[in-house]
Amino acid sequence: MDIEGVSKCEGYYIIKYLGHGACGVVKLGKKGHELVAIKFLNINNEKERAKIQIHQIQEVCILQKLFDHQRIIKLITYRDNLTYKKKNGQIVYKIGMILELGEKGSMNSYLNVLQRFDEKTSRFYFRQLMTALIYMKKHNICHLDLKPDNIVFDSDFNLKIAGFGISKEANGLINDFFGGTEYYMAPELLGRIAYDGSKVDVFAAAQILFKMITGQFAFNNCKEQLYNLIKQNDYAQFWNIQNKQHQTLFPQGFPDDFKDLINRMFDPDFNRRITPEECLQHPWTMGVEANLYQIQEQFNSEIEKIDQLLEEQKKKYKHDKQQRMELEIESTTNSQQQQSYKSGNSQKKNPMINKKRQIMKKFKFTFENRVLKRSLPTKMIDEILIYDDPQNLFCSIIDHFDKCGKIINIHETKYKLNVNIMENDQEKQEMLIELKNLEDDKLRVEVLNLGDDFIKFNEEIQKLKQSIQQQRDEVPIQQQ
């Protein structure tokens, strides 16, 4: 039995927001005693969909190959049609992955709350990170986006690497991808030089280690002086600046063995740059590390602050998402207004502009990620064929069924919706409607009968035809 007012995906109740990235949002799912992370992907257009799906297929293959390592997050399932039931009962289908949960959250959350880790704790996590990179290297896999956001802690506060969205499997140098996160990008990526993916991960790991030790990045972007000093191999000047910036933390300056490790991990020539195996055997890494009990005692005391931080991030994410949606609606409206102006018509004469905007706001959807599928020419009984703008026609159909029935689901990536016509609180007719494109920009409204009453179904088809024609008659021809 479903819990009222709680969203559900593939049998997992959606408990709370966990975080988000460029491609989507991650939420906590629960089924019985099982907890998982569900990563939903945001697709804005068809070009972006193809690109993201390629990355996701790569990510799935990579996670399957790395399944046995305890320091790498495990994939449970991936589908492009995860069934998602919203709080209001509406069912939508999402592209996403169900993953093993990093129960204690991301390393980034703890760094935000604690500011930095002590040297022994940093060494503990650095050793775990290098162990995972060595395993990945043996499988010819590189992450390419290592950062604290993509490192999570399990229930015991052991480290696990996540976020393999742009990872690659390569036996040799890579010359077909130069992306990543700027704070962590090695010089060869920026120079678009064929590179060793494992060495790119070592460079990013140096930035992570520096952040754990100091609470700050070794450099903030790839254009500032500190990064240029790294590229020029001028470590004397680099550490002179770092010692001044972190004088309170290290009154005598950074330890020599730490500086040597960072220098070798940041080496601008990746052929000279230290390997994960060498990092693990470095004198600094071989020093005294914290034990897990000490880390658990310290980190468990910060859980409440972490949850509060996540709640603030969730609110910001929702606010930003709403703003993006409003901007898109505004952009769509302005574009239509400009087209009306060019044709010598004012917005006041075009009621469809305001109606479209109202419908998009009411049902909280956009056209940014929608694809108009093609339909083969056929002769269907009572088919609806029309020349019109697909967005306007789709909104007209939604408006019609909103007035006379109940819209169950507006699909996220198609011009498609499910409706359940109600009469005296009784279900009258269930239908699936999809708008498709024919040759010469003609549109077909395909309606599928999901009920048993064909007489009522035909009645609803006629009503829909009349409604579409009536709404078109209300708009001047030049503006259609």
Q: Which domains does the chain have, with CATH numbers?
A: 1-101 (3.30.200.20), 105-296 (1.10.510.10), 363-479 (3.30.310.80)
The pLDDT value given to residue 10? 92
The pLDDT value given to residue 478? 38
Neighbour-count burial of 341, counting CB atoms closer than 10 A to its CB (0-12 exposed, 13-18 middle, 19+ buried): exposed
Angle 119-138/197-214 helices, nearest 10 degrees? 170
The pLDDT value given to residue 463? 86
* 179 within 8 A of 144, measured Cβ to Cβ: yes
Instruction: Please give the Cα distance from 151 to 159 (Å, whole number).
Output: 7
H helix or E strand, kind and range, residue 331: helix 303-342
What is the SS3 assignment for 315?
helix
Instruction: Please give the Cα distance from 229 to 219 (Å, whole number).
Output: 10
The pLDDT value given to residue 25? 84
Strands 159-161 and 141-142: unpaired
The pLDDT value given to residue 182? 85
What is the SS3 assignment for 417?
strand
Give this prediction's pTM.
0.66
The total of other beta-carbon atoms located within 10 Å of residue 213's CB is 24
The pLDDT value given to residue 160? 97
Q: What are the DSSP E strand ranges found in 107-253? A: 141-142, 151-153, 159-161, 168-169
Query: CA angle 474-477-478, nearest 5°?
Result: 125
The pLDDT value given to residue 348? 46
pLDDT tens digits in sequence order for the chain, 480 residues long: 567 678 999 999 999 888 776 567 889 999 999 999 999 877 655 666 666 677 778 889 999 999 989 999 999 998 888 999 888 888 888 888 999 999 898 999 899 889 999 999 999 999 999 999 999 999 999 999 999 999 999 999 999 999 898 899 999 999 988 888 888 999 999 999 999 999 999 999 999 999 999 999 999 888 889 999 999 999 999 999 999 999 999 999 999 999 999 999 999 999 999 999 999 999 999 999 999 999 999 898 888 887 777 777 667 666 665 665 556 555 555 555 555 554 444 444 456 677 788 888 888 888 877 888 877 665 555 568 887 788 888 998 998 888 877 777 888 888 898 888 776 666 677 888 888 887 666 788 888 888 777 778 888 888 888 888 777 666 543 344
User: Which two three-digit tokens encode residue 438?
Assistant: 């024919």
The pLDDT value given to residue 378? 59
